[in-house]
Chain A
Amino acid sequence: MKRAGFSDRWLPVLFLLPQLTIIVIFFYWPAAHAVRSSFFLQDPFGFGETFVGIKNYTMLLDSASYLRAAWFTVIFVTLVTFLSLAIALLLAVKADKVIRGAKTYRTLLMWVYAVAPPVAGVIGLVLFDQSWGPIKDFVAQFGWDFRLGVNYFDTAFTLVVMSVWKQLPVNFIFFLSGLQSIPRSVREAALIDNRSAAGRFWDVTFPLLAPTGFFLLIINITYALFDTFGIFDTTFKGEPGNNPMTLVYKVYLDGFRGNDLGGSSAQSVILMVLVLALTIFQFRMVERRIHYT
């Protein structure tokens, strides 16, 4: 790597300034503010605040609805991450084998990527809609009385399906390019060494995809935690009721709908710690990871 030298020590600072300004204004400052307000009880009408120490936190841990959301978040993130990775990997492996019409096939699979999240939410709603969604009619044939927004499980099911569907193309593209960066001759060597296609996949292809897979794992966890907000919001149409929700959605709900800014801030701080832990874990793993060249 070549190191470019700056003769003036303030010049690099000047170049970094726009980025730093944005980070400070839109990230550090609100974050600091959230940490601070998590220790206060805010007057709902903005007439002052009272210091309450860690009471906001202890209340959260005693709150049944918070624990329920936390538990749902764990299950939701696990399911969405696992399913979107597994299905995308399967599709990528299949697409990689296609020789004739490969381009068309891959383009079709990537199209979903171009669909914006709220649009995805709307499409999902149309499909799963209570009164005229085709999916409801379809599962009714198997005796499943599907009630989106009413039945906890049905709603959770819809949210998972829509979140997975939205994330598939990203994972697919990464997995496919990961597969295609495995040298052809390495696969051919495996073809000579092992007659079982499944064996070759688990012994050779999968380990060589591991760096891609790990990167995607982190991306997908973050996605399932935070970026699914739009899907929840569209699905609930502003009336979450007793429906399943993730911690991120609950921050929004308690803070802006429930006007509990202190409690909501405490929730945000917990999420921040979670993200921090995830980031540290990722850096640790990336450092330790072997780079295949």
Chain B
Amino acid sequence: MAQVKLNAVRKTYPNGFEAVKPASFDIADGEFVVLVGPSGCGKSTMLRMIAGLEDISAGELSIGDSVVNHVDPADRDIAMVFQNYALYPHMTVRKNIGYGLKNRKIPSAEIDAKVAEAANMLNLNDYLDRKASQLSGGQRQRVAMGRAIVRDPALFLFDEPLSNLDAKLRNQMRIEIKALQRRLGVTAVYVTHDQVEAMTMADRIIVMNGGVIEQIGTPSEVYHSPASTFVASFMGAPPMNLFDGHANGSEVHVGSTPLHRHAHQGKVTVGIRPEDIVPDVTGPLAIHVNIIEELGAHRLLHGHTAEQPVTIHVAKDYPAAIGPMTASIKPDAVSLFDTATGRRL
């Protein structure tokens, strides 16, 4: 178990592409941190630098109390689960799980005991003597998990470990991984581009975009107080509504509707979560509903205000209808962003 510190860590690939711009953050001992962002934003690069699979171009990385920039992956006391599991296809499940231990000069009786324990935990007992190439995707995923947990490392690294599983298995494994990490108390860095995984698993989320960290915060902070319009539209399904607004120094208007009090002056982007817009016959916001999306537990209404698109989240018993309606906005539910920079005001 260990804390991880990144100090201005940066990655420039040999072709000159800067995949990760200088990034600094700390991960506390036992914390579950999720790196999330769109494809190509540098999540894997960041994780692979922590693992030691990719050189760090500049900056300093420490795991525990020591700087590990130039320490071999095998000596960093980490365990990694890869997206395609990266099992050794010619080895049995038992050997796959035990391989890392065998190379750490652990007595074979102890290896057997640990492998048996991990297999129990992951329901792999029936497959221990099968070749890894003869397993289903879900079973491979478990073996990859087993390989990571037997090592009892200081740090777990996950690179989209669930993205090759079907939706049901993914939901189940998501909960299991989180529970396992809690139980073992091992620090974890988890890469995903799935914002649901990020929200549900993380103690803290790091949102990346184009090699830059946009925001670091708890799931609730990231969701309710996004640091930028990028985070606002990336996190949450459906994403936050973003309206072009205007601030006159005391009030913020969208179209002619005053929505919020703020001392800023000039063009702003107004962000409101779909569930923070509530149908209200006396509400100030006039909306025209075009599409009703039935999701069972609730409904989404897609439409537009005077000139801008909007999505509203309503309860399943709300009598939704296509056509005009009015709504009000929950107090304190408005995020304001500088239109020019996209940063939160």
A interface residues (Cβ-Cβ under 8 A, vs B): 99, 183, 185-186, 188-196, 199, 203-204, 207-208, 210, 290-293
Contacts and interface: CB of A to CB of B under 8 A. Distances in A.
Contacts of A208: 89-90
Nearest to B51: A192
Interface in B72-97: 72-75, 78-80, 82-84, 86-90
A185 B86 contact: yes
19 contacts: A183-B84, A183-B86, A185-B82, A185-B84, A188-B51, A188-B53, A188-B73, A189-B87, A191-B72, A191-B73, A191-B74, A192-B53, A193-B100, A193-B147, A199-B103, A210-B90, A290-B133, A293-B89, A293-B133
A207 B75 CA distance: 24
A203 B53 contact: no
Given A189-B147, A194-B103, 14 more contacts: A99-B14, A183-B86, A189-B87, A192-B73, A192-B78, A194-B99, A195-B75, A203-B99, A204-B88, A207-B90, A290-B90, A292-B90, A292-B133, A293-B133
Given A194-B100, A290-B133, A292-B133, A189 B72 contact: no
B74 A186 contact: no
Contacts of B84: 183, 185
Given A188-B53, A290-B131, A195 B87 contact: no
B103 A192 contact: no
Contact of A195 (B72, B86, B88, B147): B72
A273 B71 CA distance: 57
A293 B133 CA distance: 6
The 7 A-B pairs at the shortest CB distance, nearest first, are namely A195-B74, A185-B86, A193-B100, A189-B86, A194-B103, A292-B89, A185-B82
Contacts of B14: 99
Name which of A185, A192, A210, A290 has the most chain B CB atoms within 10 A of its CB.
Answer: A192
Interface in B35-57: 51-53
Name which of B89, B99, B131 has the most chain A CB atoms within 10 A of its CB.
Answer: B89
B88 A188 contact: no
Nearest to A194: B103
Interface residues of B, number: 25
A102 to B, nearest CB: 12
B134 to A, nearest CB: 9
Nearest to A292: B89
A190 B82 contact: no
A164 to B, nearest CB: 29
B103 A196 contact: yes
Interface of B: 14, 51-53, 72-75, 78-80, 82-84, 86-90, 99-100, 103, 131, 133, 147
B100 to A, nearest CB: 4
Nearest to B74: A195
B51 A193 contact: no
Nearest to B90: A207
Nearest to A193: B100
A186 B87 contact: yes
A188 B83 CA distance: 12
B161 to A, nearest CB: 12
Contacts of A291: 133
A195 B84 CA distance: 22
A197 to B, nearest CB: 10
B80 A192 contact: yes
A153 to B, nearest CB: 41
Given A203-B99, A290-B131, A293-B133, A192 B88 contact: no
A196 B53 CA distance: 15
A194 B82 CA distance: 16
A203 B89 CA distance: 11
A187 B74 CA distance: 12
B131 A192 contact: no
Contacts of A207: 90
A82 to B, nearest CB: 23
A289 to B, nearest CB: 11
B50 to A, nearest CB: 12
Nearest to B100: A193
Nearest to A203: B99
Contacts of B131: 290
B125 to A, nearest CB: 22
B118 to A, nearest CB: 14
A211 B27 CA distance: 44
Given A185-B84, A188-B53, A193 B99 contact: yes
A185 B84 CA distance: 8
Contacts of A196: 103
Contacts of B72: 191, 195
B86 A188 contact: yes
B52 to A, nearest CB: 8
A194 B74 contact: yes
Contacts of B88: 186, 189-190, 203-204
Contact of A188 (B82, B87, B147): B82
B100 A192 contact: yes
A189 B97 CA distance: 12
Contacts of A189: 80, 82, 86-88, 147
Contacts of A199: 103
A190 to B, nearest CB: 7
